[in-house]
Amino acid sequence: MRPFILFLFLTFLLVFPAGAQEPEEKDNNLCMGHYYSEAEARQVLQSLRSAYQTKDEWLSRAEIIRKGILQGAGLDPLPEKTPLKPRAGKERHYDGYSVKNVAIESLPGVFVTGSLYLPEKRKKKMPGILSAHGHWSDPEDYGRYRDDAQYRCASLARMGAVVFSYDMVGYGEMAGWGWKHRHPLALKQQLWNSIRALDFLLSIESIDSEKIAMTGASGGATQTFLLTAVDDRVKVSVPVVQVSAHFFGGCVCESGMPVHKSENHQTNNVEIAALAAPRPMMLVSDGADWTKNTPEVEFPHIRYIYRLMRAEEMVQNVHLPEEGHGYELPKRKAVYPFLARHLDLNLKAIMDENGEISEEGVVIEPYEKMTVFSAENPRPGYAVLTNDEVSW
């Protein structure tokens, strides 16, 4: 077994340790996995629709949901925003874009690792995009290092955006240190890391703060709609293959803390995604997972909320019934024009001579090239090495 594959196999065991999938004590306010049947979910949405029939009624409901997310995640009030202390590696130049590895400190000693993709042709003000990855943990198809994530980030950079692709808690280098993804506080830690990743993106001098987007698939889509719900600095959102009325996420980082239910309210991911209104949002769904009903169930409800907000034209659903769970090329081809339109990106930069979207020329880098810390750039001695060592 090659050293890199052996490393990722051991990483997989750290990320998914036996017996660590749920908090030890059962919380009756947790809404996890396939919480409703599909029929029940339809009824819930019908009931919710009658509860808000005006813009003001929805805004009152939206504030309850938003506060419920932060309180349920243990982020109300938000922790102090300490210095990010970004550290970057050497910039690698490719056709139409470049990449450099970056680490920030979301809390003192808590390093969030990722890669920053930059356009070759840069302007004084450029759009910024956060890219969150899902729960792909196969050593050959892993996190933000998988082909689809690199194609997406590089293509968006070619179009003129600055893209920050970052590791989820317990993935990548963090997993090798001792962090676990399926940890009872993963949702809190991951949502906070996403807030700080957004802080980092906005700290870049050339970023246009009015043109900030976020996208991701599966668990990365959960991060997309959670962050968009609680942070209005995200101006455009594209959650891919995740928004469902009956499925609440299968990982503790999505539903392992009571963000959907409290003594005073109960919500679902459809309403949470709708908190994006009136900001532009595209839902991408497919025919092989829990988003198979999106055109008939989830999207009409979200469109109804956008209509209340007088912004129905700002929300869109692209449904690909022949596709499966992922962020494959057909989904990316749907997303690129949407982000180009709302972020003023140059779609022609990724079109071939026939006017077709092409990702030809994007270099798929190996894991080793995308890591931040190395013998030449060692990890600081004060780094926090496990979830349990975090000081809030």
**DSSP per-residue letters across 338-391:** HHHHHHT--GGGGB-TTS-B--TT-----HHHH-S--SSSPPPTT---SGGG--
Overall number of domains in the chain: 1
E strands within the chain?
87-88, 92-94, 97-107, 110-119, 126-132, 137-138, 141-142, 162-166, 207-217, 236-240, 281-286, 315-320
- Find residue 133's DSSP bridge partners: none
**Looking at residue 329, which CATH number applies to its domain?**
3.40.50.1820
- The reply to whether 221 falls in a domain is yes
Query: Has residue 22 been placed in a domain?
Result: no
Residue 386 lies in a domain: no
Rounded-to-integer distance, Cα 183 and Cα 132, Å: 18
> Are the C-beta atoms of 325 and 241 separated by less than 8 Å?
yes
Q: What is the pLDDT of residue 1?
A: 40
Q: Is residue 102 part of a domain?
A: yes
- Of 141, 129, 115, nearest to 215 by C-alpha is 129
How many CB atoms within 10 Å of residue 21? 14
pLDDT value at residue 26 = 59
Task: Report if residue 366 sits inside a domain.
Answer: yes
Residue 334 within any structural domain of the chain: yes
| Helix 219-230, helix 55-72: angle, nearest 10 | 120
The per-residue pLDDT string of the chain (392 residues; one tens digit each, 9 = 90 and over) reads 444 444 444 444 444 443 334 444 557 899 999 999 999 999 999 999 999 999 999 999 999 999 999 999 999 999 999 999 999 999 999 999 999 999 999 999 999 999 999 999 999 999 999 999 999 999 889 999 999 999 999 999 999 999 999 999 999 999 999 999 999 999 999 999 999 999 999 999 999 999 999 999 999 999 999 999 999 999 999 999 999 999 999 999 999 999 999 999 999 999 999 999 999 999 999 999 999 999 999 999 999 999 999 999 999 999 999 999 999 999 999 999 999 999 999 999 999 999 999 999 999 999 999 999 998 889 999 999 999 999 99
Q: Which of 203, 267, 201 is nearest to 234 (CA)?
A: 201
pLDDT recorded at residue 376: 87
Give a yes or no: residue 240 inside a domain: yes
Q: What pTM was computed for the model?
A: 0.93
- Reply yes or no: is the peptide bond before residue 278 cis, omega within 30 of 0: yes
Residue 355 lies in a domain: yes
Determine the residue type at 248: F
Residues of the domain holding 204: 36-372
